Every structure is written in C-alpha cells, then in structure tokens.
Amino acid sequence: MITLDVNGAAREVDADPDTLLLYVLRDQLGLNGAKFGCGLGQCGACTVLVDGRAVFSCVTPVSVLPGRKIRTVEGLGTAENPGPVQRAFIEEQAAQCGYCIAGMIVRAQALLERDPSPSEAEIRRHMAPNLCRCGTHMRILRAVKKVAKA
Ligand code: FES
Ligand code: FES
C-alpha cells in the first residue's frame, strides 16, 4: 500500500510502485479530470499539481509521490463553486471538446500561484507544453489573463 496526499486528503492505494499516477487517479480514486492523451508526456491532458508544480501524471510513478502534495482539477473547485481559474475558463467558454481543459486549468493554476500577475509572454511560455487540438488557445489565453488581471 502507498499513501498519497491527494487534494488535501490521505489516500491509501494498492499499487505497484511503478504504476503511473494517472492510472491511480482515474482507476482507483475515481478522479477522472486528468485525461489520457498521449501517455508520453507530450500533450498535457494528464497534468496535475505536485507540490505546486505542473506535472504530467502519465509519466510519473507513484513511488516518487509519498510526502508530496498532489492536486487535481477536482481539488480546485466544484461545479457549484468553481475556483477562480475554472470560473474564468467557463466565462471565456474556453472549451470546445474539453479534453485538454482540465490539464490547461491545472497548468494555469501552477503559474498563477507562483506569479499572480504574469505577463502575456510568460503565460504563453508557461502554457506551451499543453496542447489543444481544437485550437481554443486564444480563449484559454484570455481566461488565464482574466485571472491574472483580477
Ligand atoms: S497524456 Fe500525459 S502528457 Fe499526454
Ligand atoms: S478543447 Fe478540444 S482539445 Fe482543447
């Protein structure tokens, strides 16, 4: 058994140490916000926060995570009470198919916690590892800028 700190709660999981975090989140903990896109650390659909940094959960084994704080998009707000980044994504209608959006929100959250007022250039640089195949990048950028301004 491995104990993980997920969204502020200690969660016991029965997983081989090499098991990748994305599968534990989705298959054992019922947290389906993070998505499987490429499985290779190249698209960002699976992004979660680990100690405040955006991490690709599809290439992160659970063995490196005990004692570290994991947060997923579910930990940033609820449907009834979305967090500021989630709210901005809704207001800007940043999702088309929505597949990339949990990862985008989580990556933006990492930036805004580190720097509440990033420049547009910094937002673009920070968000670059996460891809959106629907091409809603400009709406995503607007949503992140909205939170940064607020
Ligand atoms: S699914 Fe993890 S980076 Fe693509
Ligand atoms: S909204 Fe479809 S992949 Fe981004």
pLDDT reading at 149 higher than 90? no
* Ligand with an atom nearest the CA of residue 102: 2
Contacts of 78 (CB under 8 A, 6+ apart): none
The answer for 98, left when phi > 0, alpha when psi is -120 to 50, beta otherwise, is left
Confidence (pLDDT) at 150: 79
pTM strictly above 0.95 = yes
For the segment 43-60, the average pLDDT, to the nearest whole number, is 98
What confidence tens digit (pLDDT) does each residue in 3-43 have? 999 999 999 999 999 999 999 999 999 999 999 999 999 99
Q: Indicate whether residue 98 lines ligand 2 (CB < 6 A).
A: yes
Q: Angle 9-85-7 (CA atoms, 0-180°, nearest 5)?
A: 5
pLDDT of residue 129: 98
Q: Are strands 9-13 and 53-56 parallel, antiparallel or unpaired?
A: unpaired
Which amino acid residue places its CA nearest to atom 4 of ligand 2? 132
pLDDT tens for 77-112 read 999 999 999 999 999 999 999 999 999 999 999 999
* For ligand 1, atom 3: residue with the closest CA: 41
Residue 12 has what pLDDT?
Answer: 96
Ligand nearest to the CA of residue 138, numbered in listed order = 2
For residue 98, give the ligand 2 atom closest to its CA: 1
Per residue, the 3-state secondary structure of 72-90, as one string, reads: CHHHHCCCCCCCHHHHHHH
